[in-house]
Amino acid sequence: MSSGMTELAWFKSSYSGSDGDDCVEVAIAEQVVHVRDSKDVSRQPFSVGREGWSRFVRFASGR
């Protein structure tokens, strides 16, 4: 993982359960949104452009 990744502010969805299972975390950077598995933060996250992330969130929320 690059050193810049450790400096990101990661957060979980407000819909995530308190048990911590099946969650993803996201960190928003200037050009991309980074996504990782909250149960295995040692794995390399993947990144998606901000517009692509916005389209995904709209689709997932049914809007």
Question: Could you give the CA distance from residue 61 to residue 18 in angstroms, rounded to a whole number?
Answer: 21
DSSP-derived secondary structure letter, 26: E
Tell me the per-residue pLDDT of 45-62, one tens digit each, with 9 for 90 and over. Answer: 999 999 999 999 899 888
C-alpha to C-alpha distance for 15 and 47, rounded to whole angstroms: 21
The domain containing residue 49 runs over which residues? 3-61
pLDDT, residue 47, reads 96
Per-residue pLDDT tens for 10-48? 988 776 666 666 688 999 999 999 999 888 888 999 999
Of the candidates 15, 5, 12, the one whose C-alpha atom is nearest the C-alpha of residue 47 is: 5
The pLDDT score that the predictor gives to residue 6 is: 55
Instruction: State how many domains the chain has.
Output: 1
**Dihedral, CA of residue 31, residue 57, residue 43 and residue 7, to nearest 10:** 40
